Structure 1
């Protein structure tokens, strides 16, 4: 399995606009320089009144299907 770490800084108003609109994916640059496209919905459990902020470790299976996402502290 592969893992990537991404740093996300998404204010609440922007997340809300994206979530309510037609945007389904968030494009982020991983710490190792790769651009990855992630479903916006995977961040839903991490949304606070300020938005989505932090470092996230994302795990994929061999078919590049999302397996798990964890917030790093």
Structure 2
């Protein structure tokens, strides 16, 4: 399985706008320089009153399908 690390800084009001609107994906640049597109709903469990912030380890299978997202402390 492939793993990448991304840093997310998404204020609550922006997340809410994206969630309520037509935006369905978060596009982020991994720490190794790759651009990845992830379903916005995948971050729902990490949303706080401030938004979504932090470093995340993203796992993909051999077909580049999302397997798991974990927040890194």
Q: Give TM-score scaled by structure 1 length.
A: 0.99
For the pair 1:72 / 2:72, whether they are aligned, the reply is: yes
Residue 44 of structure 1: how far off its partner (Å): 0.1
Aligned to 2:11: 11
Structure 2 residue runs of 5 or longer lacking an equivalent are none
Residue 23 of structure 1 aligns with which residue? Answer: 23
Q: Which residue of 1 aligns with 2:61?
A: 61
Cα distance in structure 2, aligned partners of 1:35 and 1:65: 14
Aligned residues: 73
Tell me, in whole angstroms, the C-alpha distance in 2 between the residues paired with 1:13 and 1:38: 19
Matched with 1:41 is 41
- State the superposition RMSD in angstroms: 0.3
Structure-2-length-normalised TM-score: 0.99
In 2: Cα distance, 1:10 partner to 1:69 partner: 16
Tell me the distance in 2 between the aligned counterparts of 1:40 and 1:67. Answer: 14
Where 2:31 maps in the other structure, the secondary structure is: coil
Which ranges of structure 1 fall in alignment gaps of 5 or more residues? none
